[in-house]
């Protein structure tokens, strides 16, 4: 159950009509958080649910899956590398590393397939049935181990009845979105298909005001940055040759071109956190060719299930591949505007990536007192990644030009695991559940081509290894108890141990710096919660938790502004999440959600390099520092991108006009409290009191088949700080206001 904006305000055409016609109140929420369909009240896990129609409402203004941030209590998301590199945080745990091979403690699962690489995590979600956010360690049942949680996207699958749906919208900056799906039986009860597609477009809307001579040929102009084109398609074929065998074949393709993240240099004045003076729609970039990025992704899976009566054997085989690049002016501004100093641009390119996954799972059937499942999982990821620095891009005749200023890395990550879970219901009210997994995770990064001088000399340190291998072997487990006080209320408690494998940071080789590494981290998490629906019109879920992450992996900067990995002794946290849905009368629905968290890094021996340019700090550091103020002690600091509190709320009001349909008005809001954006504390690098409002008003037909509406996302055009480039005091902003119209249809 999700307590957020139009997700629970019934914005979809089909659910809107149902809400207006149904006097019984809220419907049950069914989740698959334990790989089985189960009522949310009977699942001993903190789960938030976003229906597909509601996610499409958030994305009407051209947003991607990052639109979930701030609308699910305990979930935060951001990017500093454009739409191809989302970074998710659950209960304060995430990873601020922008390295293309970065490991993240939040796993993305699409149609039961884990997407591990950061680019694969950006695969668009469309024709989606439901999104589930599982908070806390999820080491027993799903894909890779994760210390923070899982975001699980389930698309609409083929069925034995022909159905179709579409959502189309058009708004500011020629922002257009079309999300559609159609499917049904080809041979009744034997072969069914579903074809889905997504198209998103936005014109460039940010002016590059730079007019001088550029060292790499970059030219300014009106409407030079900010746009994108997203084209995606997926075909699923469901084969059911017998009543006991089903095979779902799925294949998808993605083509994306757009602008990588735009940094605004000097937007944060030293000693201040005020970003009000920096225009969102103008920037002066003298390098980086206006920050282009482009990726193509292909993938497919075979999900087969054999029902043997007492148990079902499931096999999921999947393959994903991607290639592309992202380039940017990383100093975020023309050096001529800052005393003629400070140039920076870079590009990351994936030459090729191959991810293979295989899962086998045997699970008991039925709703008996004893349920069980066990299986095995194998993961294999291999990629060739290149990083290019400024010298490579400079025009002929430039003194700093160096066409050899790039590196090629080959990464291999293999992992295998065995897992199992069992639950037993005692006396019809108490259910005990225990799960376990043992994982071996191996990573290797090899420097295939070093960064050379302009004359061709190899400058990589002779004593530094060019191949680094790391292995992590750890158990994960969880134990929970759920007690049904009565048919309306359940309470639960859960203890879980999670594991994230070791990590290698190879991008530093482009600066002729040895690889940095981080050992495996583990988490012990404790939580207790209540799930209640005291009446048909009110539902409340609440969870309190605490955890400790040992050997937590952190990412700071080195002298080149490049990410560097290290372990801190541990981090502690405690917090809560609460969600409420209320439908007091037939035509009004309210929702409210919130989370609060306190996180703290604990290691007095760990220091992080601070904002610095030319050997001097560029920001106001509040922590104790050493080495001329360039390194800050981070002991006691909050984890980066861990909001102290988040609140989301929504309301929808349906006004029956006649037997032909309803007029409706829906509004949603999300707010975010103090959020430190880096490892050390400053007067500049934090967000506080961020606010975004959404509004939608329109007409739905009585049968729920059509909806036409006007909408506005970020209606007050709030300019919120979402990220920083520290040594240039550069800011990253949220999406601008988008106002438009939308049309939805559904045919069953």
The Cα 70–Cα 696 span in angstroms is: 18
Q: 559 versus 634: which is more confidently predicted? A: 634
Banded model confidence at residue 734, pLDDT cuts 50, 70, 90: very high
The predicted pLDDT at position 660 comes to 83
Q: 228: number of CA atoms within 13 Å, CB side?
A: 23
Banded model confidence at residue 12, pLDDT cuts 50, 70, 90: very low
The predicted pLDDT at position 560 comes to 61
Q: What is the pLDDT of residues 289-347, one digit of tens each?
A: 999 999 999 999 999 999 999 999 999 999 999 999 999 999 999 988 988 888 889 99
Question: Can you give 639-700 as a three-state secondary structure string?
Answer: CCCCCCEEEEEEEEEEEEEECCEEEEEEEEEEEECCEECCCCCECCCEECCEEEEEEEEEEE
Banded model confidence at residue 142, pLDDT cuts 50, 70, 90: confident
| Domains, the chain, with CATH or none | 5-747 (2.40.170.20)
3-state secondary structure of 165: strand
The predicted pLDDT at position 143 comes to 63
3-state secondary structure of 65: helix
**Which residues, including other chains, have CB under 8 Å from residue 657's CB and lie 6 or more apart?**
663, 699
Structure tokens at 664: 């409706």
3-state secondary structure of 181: strand
What Å distances lie between residue 600 and 94, 573, 644, 681, 721, CA to CA? Answer: 14, 6, 11, 12, 22
Q: What is the pLDDT of residues 20-29, one digit of tens each?
A: 334 557 787 8
Residue 8 has pLDDT above 70, yes or no: no
The predicted pLDDT at position 167 comes to 95
Predicted TM-score (pTM) of this structure: 0.93
The predicted pLDDT at position 558 comes to 67
Q: What is the pLDDT of residues 709-733, one digit of tens each?
A: 999 999 999 999 999 999 999 999 9
Residue 180 has pLDDT above 80, yes or no: yes
The Cα 362–Cα 595 span in angstroms is: 36
Residue 46 has pLDDT above 70, yes or no: yes
Q: What is the pLDDT of residues 521-553, one digit of tens each?
A: 999 999 999 999 999 899 999 999 999 999 999
The predicted pLDDT at position 608 comes to 92
Pairing type for strands 282-283 and 206-208 reads parallel
CA nearest to 291, candidates 266, 261, 267: 261
The Cα 296–Cα 703 span in angstroms is: 40
CB 319 within 8 A of CB 300: yes
What Å distances lie between residue 300 and 233, 314, 354, 414, CA to CA? Answer: 12, 17, 12, 19
The Cα 197–Cα 126 span in angstroms is: 7
Q: 358 versus 1: which is more confidently predicted? A: 358
The Cα 87–Cα 85 span in angstroms is: 7
Residue 182 has pLDDT above 50, yes or no: yes
The predicted pLDDT at position 9 comes to 30
């Amino acid at each position: 159950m999700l307590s957020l904006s139009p997700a629970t305000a019934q914005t979809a055409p089909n659910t809107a009509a149902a809400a207006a016609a149904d006097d019984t109140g809220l419907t049950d929420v069914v989740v698959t958080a334990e790989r089985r369909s189960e009522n949310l009240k009977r699942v001993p896990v903190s789960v938030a649910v976003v229906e597909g129609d509601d996610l499409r409402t958030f994305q009407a203004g051209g947003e991607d899956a990052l639109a979930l941030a701030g609308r699910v209590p305990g979930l935060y998301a951001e990017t500093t590398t454009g739409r191809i590199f989302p970074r998710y945080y659950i209960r304060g745990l995430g990873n601020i590393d922008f390295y293309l091979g970065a490991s993240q403690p939040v796993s993305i699962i699409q149609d039961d397939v884990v997407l591990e690489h950061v680019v694969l995590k950006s695969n668009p979600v469309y024709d989606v049935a439901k999104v589930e956010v599982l908070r806390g360690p999820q080491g027993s049942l799903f894909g890779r181990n994760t210390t923070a949680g899982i975001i699980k996207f389930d698309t609409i699958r083929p069925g034995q009845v022909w159905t179709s749906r579409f959502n189309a919208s058009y708004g500011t900056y020629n922002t257009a979105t079309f999300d559609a799906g159609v499917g049904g039986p080809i041979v009744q009860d034997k072969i069914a298909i579903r074809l889905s597609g997504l198209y998103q477009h936005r014109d460039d809307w940010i002016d590059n005001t730079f007019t001088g001579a550029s060292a790499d040929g970059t030219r300014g102009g009106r409407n030079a940055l900010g746009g994108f084109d997203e084209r995606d398609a997926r075909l699923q074929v469901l084969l059911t040759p017998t009543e006991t065998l089903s095979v779902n074949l799925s294949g998808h393709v993605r083509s994306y071109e757009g602008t990588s993240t735009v940094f605004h240099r000097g937007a944060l004045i030293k000693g201040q956190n005020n970003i009000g003076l920096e225009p969102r729609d103008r920037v002066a970039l003298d390098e980086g060719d206006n920050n282009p990025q482009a990726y193509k992704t292909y993938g497919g899976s075979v999900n087969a299930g054999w029902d043997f009566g007492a148990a079902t054997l499931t096999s999921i085989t999947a393959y994903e591949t991607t290639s592309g690049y992202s380039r940017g002016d990383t100093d975020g501004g023309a050096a001529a505007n800052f005393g003629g100093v400070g140039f920076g641009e870079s590009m990351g390119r994936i030459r090729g990536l191959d991810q293979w996954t295989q899962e086998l799972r045997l699970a008991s059937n039925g709703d008996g007192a004893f349920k069980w499942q066990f299986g095995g999982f194998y993961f294999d990821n291999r990629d060739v990644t290149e990083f290019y620095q400024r010298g490579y891009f400079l025009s002929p005749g430039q003194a700093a030009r160096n066409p050899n200023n790039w590196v090629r890395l080959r990464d291999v990550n293999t992992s295998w695991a065995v897992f199992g879970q069992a639950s037993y219901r005692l006396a019809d009210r108490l259910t005990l559940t225990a799960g376990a997994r043992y994982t071996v995770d191996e990573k290797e990064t090899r420097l295939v081509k070093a960064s050379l001088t302009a004359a061709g000399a190899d400058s990589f340190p002779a004593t530094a290894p060019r191949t680094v291998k790391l292995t992590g072997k750890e158990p994960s487990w969880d134990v929970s108890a759920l007690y049904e006080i009565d048919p309306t209320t359940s309470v639960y408690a859960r203890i879980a141990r999670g594991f994230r494998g070791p990590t290698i940071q190879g991008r530093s080789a482009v600066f002729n710096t040895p690889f940095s590494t981080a050992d495996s981290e583990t988490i012990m998490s404790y939580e207790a919660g209540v799930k209640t629906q005291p009446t048909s019109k009110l539902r409340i879920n609440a969870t309190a938790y605490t955890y400790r992450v040992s050997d937590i992996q952190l990412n700071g900067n080195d002298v080149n502004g490049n990410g560097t990995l290290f372990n801190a002794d541990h981090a502690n946290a405690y917090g809560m999440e609460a969600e409420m849905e209320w439908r007091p009368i037939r035509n009004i629905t309210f929702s409210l959600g919130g989370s609060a968290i306190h996180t703290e890094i604990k290691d007095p021996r760990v220091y992080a390099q601070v904002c610095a340019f030319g050997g001097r700090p560029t920001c106001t550091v509040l922590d104790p520092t050493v080495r001329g103020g360039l390194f800050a002690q981070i002991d006691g600091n909050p984890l980066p991108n861990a909001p102290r509190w988040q609140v989301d709320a929504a309301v929808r009001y349906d006004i029956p006009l006649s037997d032909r349909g309803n007029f409706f008005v829906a509004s949603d809001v999300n707010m975010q409290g103090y959020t430190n954006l880096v490892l050390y504390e400053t007067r500049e690098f934090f967000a506080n009191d961020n606010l975004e409002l959404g509004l939608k008003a329109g007409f739905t037909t009585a049968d729920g088949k059509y909806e036409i509406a006007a909408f506005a996302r970020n209606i007050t055009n709030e300019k919120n700080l979402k990220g920083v480039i520290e040594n240039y005091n550069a800011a990253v902003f949220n999406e601008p206001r988008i106002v438009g119209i939308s049309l939805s249809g559904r045919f069953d």
